[in-house]
Amino acid sequence: MPNATATATAPVPGVPPATAGACAAFTLRTLSPALGAEVVGLDLSRPLEPATVAELRAAWLQHLVLRFRGQALTDPQLLAVSRHLGELDPPGPNPYGAPFNPAHPEINVISNLREGDRPLGNLGDGEAVWHQDMTYIDHPPMASMLYAIEVPPSGGDTYWANLHLALESMPAGLRRRIEGRSAVHDSTYNSAGIMRRGMKDVTDPREAPGARHPLIVVHPDTGRETLLLGRRRNGYILGLSLAESEALLDELWAHACQPQFAFRQEWKVGDVILWDNRSTLHRRDSFDAASRRRMHRTQIKGAALRPAA
Ligand code: SIN
């Protein structure tokens, strides 16, 4: 069993430790032994000082997931706070061909709500399987931010898993089998299993469209090694037979998705979660189709992910 506490919260080389000390505009409260911290005392609707942004950034790189409770944000305020981390990355092509938030197309709407036949958001009410966002492009987003506007009375919890920790605690034999290898990150389906617009069904993962990335990469901001998995469906490890690739991917995913690497978020209205997309996986529980769930989401552009030496 890995020592999750020691590994997950250790300061990151090259990044000022996220102490949220005496002069900080906020304090931090650990959310789980594996990852995640709550930022207490910060109103994201107000302009942030550069020093506060720097401290938030350090906290985000150290804890990988930051939660802010009790927020009340307009769309422009959500965009403004997201832009503190970098340039926004527009949502990937949604299955219905038009932005869910036409006034602010950089914002994706994650919702089960419908107007007649027309979905008002993505991902419906079913499970969204473990994934990293948009790793099917060459430069996947570095961060995503999700703001809860309406939440169901039960269900719809979201989980994040720490991929640094999964890599660090990986059996040596398993690690040796993936070192130097890259995988295909299929762009055909979203995490709810819905085919993206303009895509064709994939019958052989070796032919799946999407970026190729090393399985072990160097985190561009911290230099720390991390596992990069994307999503399981139609994954393929280059250079292996399909059967070998399937068996190895099953082993990797079973290792990475263990509960000791994860944090569970039970949503309240006004929660904002900011996560590091390079070093975490996330998934969502299904919920009652008759209840309402609505979230607004932004993403921040990322850099190329280079292989670990
Ligand atoms: C997502 O995968 O980005 C959405 C997660 C959620 O609906 O909680």
Q: Is the CB of 282 under 6 A from ligand 1?
A: yes
Mutate to test the pocket of ligand 1, among 122, 146, 273 (most ligand atoms within 8 A of CB): 146
pLDDT digits (tens, 9 = 90+) for 258-273: 999 999 999 999 999 9
pLDDT digits (tens, 9 = 90+) for 158-217: 999 999 999 999 999 999 999 999 999 988 887 788 888 878 888 888 888 899 999 999
**How far is the C-alpha of 21 from the C-alpha of 31, rounded, in Å?**
18
- DSSP designation for 224: -
Q: Is the pLDDT of residue 5 over 80?
A: no
Q: Are 201 and 289 in contact (CB under 8 A)?
A: no
**How far is the C-alpha of 252 from the C-alpha of 162, rounded, in Å?**
14
Going by CA atoms, what residue is nearest to atom 6 of ligand 1?
284
> What domains can you pick out in the chain, each with its CATH number?
21-307 (3.60.130.10)
Q: Is the CB of 280 under 6 A from ligand 1?
A: no
pLDDT digits (tens, 9 = 90+) for 55-86: 999 999 999 999 999 999 999 999 999 999 99
Sole residue written with tokens 């302009």: 47
* Chain-centre distance for alpha carbon 275: 6
Q: Is the CB of 123 under 6 A from ligand 1?
A: yes
Q: Is the CB of 71 under 6 A from ligand 1?
A: no
Helix (H) or strand (E) holding 78, with range, is: helix 75-83
- Split at pLDDT 50, 70, 90, the class of 4 is very low
CA of 214 to the centre of ligand 1 (A): 25
Among the listed residues 34, 40, 48, 112, the one whose alpha carbon sits nearest the alpha carbon of residue 77: 48
Helix (H) or strand (E) holding 172, with range, is: helix 172-178
Q: How many other C-beta atoms are found inside a 10 Å radius of the C-beta of residue 55?
A: 24
Q: Is the CB of 284 under 6 A from ligand 1?
A: yes
**How far is the C-alpha of 203 from the C-alpha of 23, rounded, in Å?**
56
pTM of the complete model: 0.91
Q: Is the CB of 256 under 6 A from ligand 1?
A: no
CA of 103 to the centre of ligand 1 (A): 21
The predicted structure's pLDDT at residue 303? 92
Mutate to test the pocket of ligand 1, among 191, 287, 296, 299 (most ligand atoms within 8 A of CB): 191
